[in-house]
Amino acid sequence: LRPTSGQFAVFFVFASLCAWYSGYLLAELVPDMPLSSAVYSIRSIGEKPVLRAPAPKRQKCDHWTPCPPNTYAYRLLSGGGRDKFAKICFEDEMLIGEKTGNVARGINIAIVNYATGKVIATQYFDMFEGDNSGPMTAFIQSAPSKSLLFMVTHDDGSSRLKEDAKKAIESLGSKEIRNMRFRSSWVFLAAKGFELPAGIEREKINHSDNAKNRYSGWPAEIQVEGCIPKGPS
């Protein structure tokens, strides 16, 4: 028997009520979320989960890879322009920098005990104003044997750099100290009383060039970094 129009109308109303009630129950059971999120959730059903690599672990002195055991991590960064100050990092400790408040125009130097890894002294020497070449020479010469010396420039490190200071730095192995020009960016790592391995990155220089300067009147900052093998305890 075919259903009458009245029976069909009753069935339609009953089906509509069931659909409405099912929708009501679903709305009550499922927490509120934006439509876009709901659509994305439906689309994501059956998709393979995305495996995300964990965030890389931060290394000492912001190295990309960790230094081997029984080595010291270091990173030397020259200043850039007026406002990007020089930095000296050793074993993840900022020896010289803006946050430590001991960086200034000229040549900035940190002396570290090679055996213990402890800082001995830090100082900056203005090479644009004042007669600071002599005091800097005395500071360098005061470093005890078995010391690491880290040197970085900020702004100008050459205008009042005299022969005594050049000889003192040259005697530590610098190849670039006599090539320093006005506002050259320069970084240097030295060992006093012992020899560093040949592969250690020790020195870089970058000269001011109006056609290539990153900053107005200044070249780009430069850096060296690496790992220094510790001596026998």
In a domain, 93, yes or no: yes
pLDDT tens-digit series, residues 155-170: 999 999 999 999 999 9
Average pLDDT in the chain = 85
Q: Give the model's pLDDT for residue 19.
A: 63
pLDDT tens-digit series, residues 203-226: 999 999 888 889 988 899 999 999
Residue 132 shares a structural domain with residue 36: no
Residue 125 shares a structural domain with residue 10: no
In a domain, 50, yes or no: no
Domain count, the chain: 2
In a domain, 21, yes or no: yes
In a domain, 195, yes or no: yes
Residue 81 shares a structural domain with residue 25: no
Sign of CA dihedral 145, 205, 230, 63: positive
Which DSSP string corresponds to the chain?
A: -PPPHHHHHHHHHHHHHHHHHHHHHHHHHSPP--HHHHHHHHHHTTPPPPP-PPPPPPPGGG-SSPPPTTEEEEEEE--BTTTB--EEEETTEEEESTTTT---SEEEEEEEETTT--EEEEEEE-SSSSS-HHHHHHHHHTSPSSEEEEEEEES--STT--HHHHHHHHTTT-SSGGG--TT-EEEEEEEESS---TTS--EEEE---TTT-SBTTBPPP-EEEEEEEPPP-
Tell me which residue of 59, 75, 58, 56 sits closest to 67, measured CA to CA: 59
Residue 80 shares a structural domain with residue 37: no
Residue 126 shares a structural domain with residue 208: yes
In a domain, 19, yes or no: yes
Residue 163 shares a structural domain with residue 198: yes
Q: Given a cut of 50, is residue 227 above it in pLDDT?
A: yes
Using 50, 70 and 90 to split pLDDT, how confident is the model at 11? low
Residue 93 shares a structural domain with residue 168: yes
In a domain, 210, yes or no: yes
In a domain, 95, yes or no: yes
pLDDT tens-digit series, residues 37-77: 554 554 555 565 566 655 567 789 999 999 999 999 999 99
Residue 153 shares a structural domain with residue 126: yes
Find the domain containing 9 and state its range: 5-44
Residue 213 shares a structural domain with residue 105: yes
